[in-house]
Structure 1
C-alpha cells in the first residue's frame, strides 16, 4: 500500500473566492473546481495540494484530511482490525473516486480515497 497524497480541506462558503486568495498569495494553480470544492496545487509539486469546500460531497460533512491511497481495501482491513468502522462508504462517487470516511482516535474525520476509471 502506498499513500499518493494527503490534502488538507478547509471549510468555506465560497471556495472560488478563497481559492483566488490562496492562488495569489502562494502561487498555487487551480487543478479542480467542481463549484462546491476547489483544489489548488503547487506548480512544481502537484502532490502538494489544498482543497477549499462547502461540504464533503454527497451530503457529507467536510473531512479534515483527504488521503489518497493505491489500495483502499488494505486500509479498510487495517482499520477494521483495530475495531474502526467507516462512518461513510465505501462508495463510488460520480466524480471518479471510491472512498470512505472514518474517525481517527482523536475524533478527526478522515476521507480515504482512490481514483477509479469512469
Structure 2
C-alpha cells in the first residue's frame, strides 16, 4: 500500500455557513464534490486541501482524516495483521470509492480510501 494523498476532515455543523470562511477568507476553491454532508476546499497552486464533514453518510463514526491509497485491500489486510480495530468495514460506496475506517492505537479514526472506476 502506498499513501497518495491525505485530507484533514474537519467537523462542521453546516457546510454552507462555513463556506465564506474557507472560500472567502482563506481563498480556497470550493470543489463541490456533489454531496450535502462533505465538501472539499483546495488551493491547486499550493497543493493544500481540507474536507468539511457534517456527519459521515454511511459509517458509525466520523474520521479525522481521509487517506487515499493505491491498494485499499492491502491496507485492510495490513490493518488486520497488526490487530487494529476496523470501525467501518471495507465498503464500495455509491460515490465511487472503496473505503474502510481504522482506529489508530491513539484512538483517532481514519478513512482509508481508494477511488474505483
Provide TM-score, normalisation by structure 2: 0.90
- Mapping 1:1-118, distance limit 5 Å: 1-31=1-31, 32-46=33-47, 48-58=48-58, 60-117=60-117
- For residue 18 of structure 1, give the secondary structure of its aligned residue in structure 2: helix
- For residue 87 of structure 1, give the secondary structure of its aligned residue in structure 2: strand
Give the RMSD, CA atoms, in angstroms.
1.5
Question: Unaligned stretches of 5+ in structure 1?
Answer: none
Q: Aligned-pair distance for 1:43?
A: 2.5
CA distance in 2, matches of 1:69, 1:16: 29
* Most deviating of 94-103 and 18-27: 18-27
**Number of corresponding residues:** 116
Provide TM-score, normalisation by structure 1: 0.89
- For residue 52 of structure 2, give the secondary structure of its aligned residue in structure 1: strand
The answer as to whether partners of 1:28 and 1:42 remain within 8 angstroms in 2 is yes
Question: Unaligned stretches of 5+ in structure 2?
Answer: none
Q: Aligned-pair distance for 1:23?
A: 1.2
